[in-house]
């Protein structure tokens, strides 16, 4: 399966993506993790993009598209993957579609995790990552609202969207996601 996780910062994309990818035996690809690793390793990509992460701004589309295209070309992705944090703009979504349609490997489903903003902020503040400072959280939420939230409609129109309540315990959220995935690919 080829799955995309959508949803605002702090909703639990990473937490749930790890579990679902393991359950389905597919690769988990978090673009945020890839960028943080590149920054830690001080690679050219990391040096180029670190300031965007620290400020809570989105990394430019062309940089992200090259990163994802290269990663999806690797052999381990041929058995399926879960994209966590990509696409995040309409340009990224359209480019991903074109890429996958050309390869005859369209997306199977988009899981859109949702939660009220107060709970998102509580989770992020409690985690305390470098970009979990209040002013950066505000910017990330704003970027989400303006650039990423419109992707819900984009995927709904294509019949791929599965909205899932991100509230409650991680186990409860996982059960809901699993139920949605089971509807498209029964176990």
- What does the per-residue mask of binding to ligand AP5 show for 3-32, with x meaning CB under 6 A? ----x-xxxxxxx---------------xx
Does 169 bind ligand AP5 (CB under 6 A)? Our answer is yes
Residues 109-148 that bind ligand AP5 (CB under 6 A): 123, 127, 140
Q: Give yes or no for residue 14 binding Mg ion (CB under 5 A).
A: yes
The only residue of 1, 52, 65, 108 in contact with ligand AP5, by rule CB under 6 A = 52
Site for Mg ion in 83-102 (CB under 5 A): none
Question: Residue 162 interacts with ligand AP5 (CB under 6 A)?
Answer: no
Residue in 24, 29, 56, 155 binding ligand AP5, rule: CB under 6 A? 56
Residues 130/24, Cβ–Cβ less than 8 Å: no
Residues in touch with Mg ion (CB under 5 A): 13-14
Residues in touch with ligand AP5 (CB under 6 A): 7, 9-15, 31-32, 35, 52-53, 56-59, 64, 85-88, 92, 123, 127, 140, 169-170, 173
């Amino acid at each position: 399966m080829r799955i995309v996780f959508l949803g605002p910062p702090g909703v639990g994309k990473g937490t749930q993506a790890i579990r679902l990818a393991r359950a389905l035996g597919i690769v988990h690809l978090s673009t945020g993790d890839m960028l943080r690793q590149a920054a830690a390793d001080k690679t050219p990509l990391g040096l180029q993009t670190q300031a965007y992460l620290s400020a809570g701004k989105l990394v430019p589309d062309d940089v992200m598209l090259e990163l994802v295209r290269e990663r999806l070309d690797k052999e381990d992705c041929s058995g399926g993957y879960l994209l966590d944090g990509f696409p995040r703009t309409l340009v990224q979504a359209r480019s991903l579609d074109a890429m996958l349609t050309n390869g005859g490997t369209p997306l199977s489903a988009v899981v859109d995790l949702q939660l009220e903003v107060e709970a998102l902020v509580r989770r992020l503040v409690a985690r305390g990552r470098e970009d979990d400072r209040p002013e950066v959280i505000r910017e990330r939420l704003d970027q989400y609202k303006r650039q990423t939230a419109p992707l819900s409609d984009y995927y709904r129109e294509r019949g791929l969207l599965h909205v899932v309540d991100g509230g409650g315990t991680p186990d409860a959220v996982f059960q809901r996601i699993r139920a949605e995935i089971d509807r498209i690919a029964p176990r």
